[in-house]
Amino acid sequence: MLVLSGGWVSGTMLSPRFHPGRVWVMPREGAAMRDSGRETVRVFPGLGGLRVVRLKEGETVEQALQEFRLQPEVAWAEPDYQVTAAAVLPNDPYFQNGTQWALNNYGQNSGLPDADLDAPEAWAVRHTASNVVVAIVDSGVRTTHEDLAANLWRNPEDGTPGFNALTNQHDPEDDNGHGTHLAGIIGAVGDNNRGIAGVAWRVQLMACKFLNAAGNGYHSDAVACIEFARAHGAHILNLSWGGSEFSAAVSNALWAARADGLLVVAAAGNNGANVDQFPFYPACLAMDHIVAVGASTRTDERWSQSSYGAARVALFAPGAEIYSTTQSGDNAYQSRNGTSMATAFVAGALALLRQAAPAAPAPVLRDRLLGAVDVKPAFDGKCVSGGRLNLRKMLDWPALAMNWSNQTAQVRLTGVPTHGYVITASTNLQTWTSLQTNTAGPGGDWWFTDPASATLPRRFYRAHPGP
């Protein structure tokens, strides 16, 4: 009995593409290739006579391959697959010059290489979340900013970009800068040759203002924003604020949001405290759709002021020296620190995941997020997952299929070309053993043959992103 457990996220795999006018053909050793009426355009004598053959006029790749594979003098034939770079690099200036270390850390400015989200590798899988609405419940957003305006959510009733609980109107302009900074991290327009790139290059940013110019606000106004977001189709709430006082009203509002399938991402706080002992709300509310986030540095350490908690904080994400959009001008940017920034990175990541799995329950997405972190010593005992957000591992989940040959299982993994994956096996669905680590081929496929399957009564398989 064979059970395959692969990626449940649909639509995240790249469809294999190949040249429409030629194929690879490998002759058997010592065999003479017959004249098929096709032109051989390249031969590799050092590779056993491997050749590239141009198709006939009007012939499809599938037709040619079927014919070649039936010829006894042909060992194998395959498409001439197209490949792409394993990383996707947007042209936004502050990404290109290394300022956005959280997305791609190669050691710039005394950083630790790879202490980042692996964003370029993740973007090879998915970089847009156009159908996902992220409500930024905060100080508002500068709605005319060059890097945000195109990604603002618009109310279908009147075209406004959100809600202002302080005026009870739909004018959520930012007079503090905090909310605009978060908006850029989550969803600044990517690859537009301006400013920065957001985690999601395309997403719908709903501006919900309840914090004033000084960055202060009240629970009643926060709940008004949460209710607006819930009523107007938000999928994710970004709550980069909090306090030490438990509020039944806020708790009830977030519980109602859970019933509607919303994910809630909340800041763990900047008190450097253990929130298991000194709770910070709403991050510490015990609900399975809430993700509490601590802040990490460019060297994969806990930011000194970030709160932590082995039971209450879910994971860490970059939150120190984070460059993003600000409210002082349409082309203004600045650097900020805090668990607020870390929260925004996680909200952007979950937007991409929600786009990939629109029907998945929020707790399932939360589990996927926490199961894909980079486990690091600095976060051991400081959060539930023991790690820091890794965008690529979260998105790059391979699919599995199987075939039988001589009573032996052959597992076909389909992922992103050149990306690494691990196949594991179990006989009881409890203890899993790594069988092999490999990279997907040019078409995104990797075939694994498991000799042990022939002698076992049952064998379960699953796969996950590799290092």
Residue 294 host element (H or E): strand 290-296
Residue tagged active-site, from 92, 116, 118, 138: 138
Instruction: List, in order, residues 6 or more apart from 65 with CB less than 8 Å away.
Output: 23, 77, 78, 79
* Sign of the torsion angle spanned by Cα atoms 431, 437, 439, 440: negative
> Residue 170's closest CA among 181, 182, 179, 158?
158
Residues 6+ away with beta carbon under 8 Å from 93: 193, 194, 195
Q: How many helices (H) and strands (E) does the chain have?
A: 9, 22
Give the C-alpha separation, 80 to 54, whole Å.
11
340 among known catalytic residues: yes
Position of tokens 């069988």?
435
The three-point CA angle 307-311-315 to 5° equals 60
Token pair listed for 250: 């806020």
Distance (Å, whole) CA 255 – CA 287: 8
For 386, residues 6+ apart whose C-beta sits below 8 A from its C-beta are: 373, 375, 376, 379, 380
Pairing of strands 315-318, 290-296: parallel
Q: Is 178 designated active site?
A: yes
Contact 84, 127 (CB under 8 A): no
H or E, element range at 74: strand 74-81
From the list 178, 289, 419, 464, the catalytic residue is 178
- Measured distance CA(299)–CA(284) in Å, rounded: 26
Cβ-proximal residues to 47 (8 Å cutoff; 6+ apart), any chain: none
Report strand pairing: 290-296 vs 263-267: parallel
* SS3 of 333-367: EEEECCHHHHHHHHHHHHHHHHHHCCCCCHHHHHH
Q: CA torsion 392→357→92→229, rounded to 10°?
A: -130
Task: Kindly tell me the sign of the dihedral angle through the C-alpha atoms of 403, 408, 411, 412.
Answer: negative
Which of the following is catalytic: 340, 385, 396, 419? 340
The catalytic residues are: 138, 178, 340
